[in-house]
């Protein structure tokens, strides 16, 4: 075997080994993310499910929404825990009146409800001028009309179809 053949064989072997190592490394964040959730994440998902009426959320989007709310809402984990507790003790309260019920007794929790709903439905967190977009095409506001309407900003047809007269 020539020296150049040995080098070529070694390079291929290194490339294959590197590819395998990269694939293993790429799968680690998902596993690590599931094992090391931020404090209050489970309560956040439970409260979000009660407020939106959904049974599940996209895990990546849930992580992004939660992380943004933690950054923008002071003491978010404590407020979510208190909100989770309040909802548990007021189990018969319909989700559409939770904010109104909280406005009189716990206004800080009413604001937290608003922040959570705004994050899920509009895909934005924070107040101007410090607003963070966490979702657009996966924001829940598009779900009710998703079977009939295309999400705005996406091309509905071929390029320049808007230029033709209807």
Q: What is the 3-state secondary structure (H, E, C) of the chain?
A: CCHHHHHHHHHHHHHHHHHHHHHHHHHHHHHHHHHCCCCCHHHHHHHHHHHHCCCCCCHHHHHHHHHHHHHHCCCHHHHHHHHHHHHHHCCCCCHHHHHHHHHHHCHHHHHHHHHHHHHHHHCEECCCCCCEECCCCCCHHHHHHCCCCCCCCCCCCCCCHHHCCC
Please tell me the pTM assigned to this model.
0.71
Place of tokens 């409260």: 47
Distance CA 124, CA 72 (A): 11
Written as tens digits, the pLDDT of the chain (166 aa) is: 565 555 555 556 655 655 545 555 555 555 444 545 788 899 999 999 999 999 999 999 999 999 999 999 999 999 999 999 999 898 767 777 888 889 989 999 999 999 999 999 999 999 999 999 999 989 999 888 878 877 777 666 677 777 778 7
Contacts of residue 101, Cβ cutoff 8 Å, sequence gap at least 6: 90, 93
Model pLDDT, residue 44: 97
Model pLDDT, residue 33: 47
Q: Are 79 and 109 in contact (CB under 8 A)?
A: yes
End-to-end CA distance of the chain: 71
């Amino acid at each position: 075997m020539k020296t150049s053949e040995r080098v070529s064989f070694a390079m291929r072997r290194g490339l294959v080994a590197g590819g395998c190592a990269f694939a293993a490394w790429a799968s680690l964040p998902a596993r690590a993310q599931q094992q090391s959730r931020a404090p209050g994440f489970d309560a956040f998902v439970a409260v979000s499910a009660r407020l939106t009426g959904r049974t599940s959320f996209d895990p990546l989007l849930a992580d992004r929404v939660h992380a943004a709310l933690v950054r923008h809402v002071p003491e978010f984990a404590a407020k979510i825990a208190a909100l989770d507790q309040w909802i548990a003790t007021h189990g018969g309260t319909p989700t559409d009146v939770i904010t109104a019920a909280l406005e009189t007794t716990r206004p800080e929790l009413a604001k937290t409800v608003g922040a959570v709903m705004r994050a899920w439905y509009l895909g934005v967190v924070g107040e101007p001028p410090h607003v963070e977009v966490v979702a657009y095409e996966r924001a829940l506001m598009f779900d009710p009309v998703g079977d009939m309407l295309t999400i705005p900003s996406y091309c509905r047809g071929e390029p320049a179809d808007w230029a033709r007269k209807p």
